[in-house]
Amino acid sequence: EIVLTQSPGTLSLSPGERATLSCRASQRVSRSYLAWYQQKLGQAPRLLIYGTSSRATGIPDRFSGSGSGTDFTLTITRLEPEDFAVYYCQQYDTSTTFGGGTKVEI
Amino acid sequence: QIQLQESGPGLVKPSATLSLICSVSGGSISGYYWTWIRQPPGKGLEWIGYIYYSGTTNYNPSLKSRLTISVDTSKNQFSLKLSSVTPADTAVYYCARGLEMVYAFDAFDIWGQGTMVTVS
């Protein structure tokens, strides 16, 4: 099983700042099958990024994904008030697993 | 626009069987893989298993001995049964669909709202 480790656990930032979230895999994620989700309290996860760097439908361009192999990054260039939430990465190369999440708080 | 809706009891007794249904509306269940995912309170996401519209299944090894996922194409719905539940099975249960028809494992772009199941 591929274990995904997200860091930091919590990121404390202000609106307008840049957020950089990390997702590290225990083994190589081939074919760039890595996705990112945003989850707000009481809601289902919302797909942001798939295939490491492709934005899902309707996702603003302040969200971007990058990386390869075992190290992946989600960047939010300018935090909007609605971006404060928990973010999860997911690999779907070998079965599928999720990371433990990063909370982005004000 | 396709929508998913989970339904089932919110409270299940220990050692009983947890049963949930995911109803698919706004589109056909045919051609896709359909997945169950759960999230214990305050914790992360766990893949439970999937079913293809034709009936092929794949389960999380940690749940395999207790799990059955089935599909009813005539009703456009699929279901989950988890037997011998314990308080550790307490979670929000989501049904979801992947982006592409051809991939069993995929990014999930469509999710149900989730249903909280408490084992107590």
Q: Do B108 and A45 touch (CB under 8 A)?
A: yes
Q: What is the distance in angstroms between the Cα of A43 and the nearest Cα belonging to chain B? A: 7
Residues in chain B: 120
Q: Do A45 and B44 touch (CB under 8 A)?
A: no
Q: Do B105 and A88 touch (CB under 8 A)?
A: no
Instruction: Please state, in angstroms and rounded to a whole number, the distance separating the CA atoms of residues B47 and A58.
Output: 25
Q: Closest residue of B to A57, CA-based? A: B109
Model confidence at B6, in pLDDT bands (50, 70, 90)? very high
Residues of A in contact with B59 (CB under 8 A): none
Closest partner CB to B105 (pick from A88, A95, A101):
A95
pLDDT for residue B101 is more than 90: no
Q: Do A92 and B105 touch (CB under 8 A)?
A: yes
Q: What is the distance in angstroms between the Cα of B92 and the nearest Cα belonging to chain A? A: 9
Average pLDDT over residues B41-62: 96
Burial B57-96 (b: 16+ CB within 10 A, else e): bbbbeebeebbbbebeeeebbbbbebeebeeebbbbbbbb
pLDDT confidence of residue B20: 98
Residues of B in contact with A96 (CB under 8 A): 47, 105
Cα-flanking dihedrals φ and ψ of residue A8, to 5°?
-75, 175
Q: What is the distance in angstroms between the Cα of A39 and the nearest Cα belonging to chain B? A: 10
Instruction: Please state, in angstroms and rounded to a whole number, the distance separating the CA atoms of residues B2 and B43.
Output: 28
Tell me the residues of chain B between 67 and 106 that have a Cβ less than 8 Å away from chain A.
Answer: 94, 99, 103, 105-106
pLDDT confidence of residue A92: 96
Average model confidence (pLDDT) for chain A? 97
* Contacts with B42 (C-beta within 8 Å, 6 or more apart), sequence order: none
| β-bridge pairing B33-39 and A63-76 | unpaired
Average pLDDT over residues A37-45: 97
Please tell me the least confidently modeled range out of A39-43, A59-63, B86-90, B100-104.
B100-104
B67-84 pLDDT, tens per residue? Answer: 999 999 999 999 999 999
With CA atoms as reference, report the closest residue to A87 among A42, A40, A43: A40
Instruction: Please state, in angstroms and rounded to a whole number, the distance separating the CA atoms of residues B63 and B111.
Output: 21
Say how far residue A72 (Cα) sits from the centre of its chain.
8
Instruction: Please state, in angstroms and rounded to a whole number, the distance separating the CA atoms of residues B22 and B38.
Output: 13
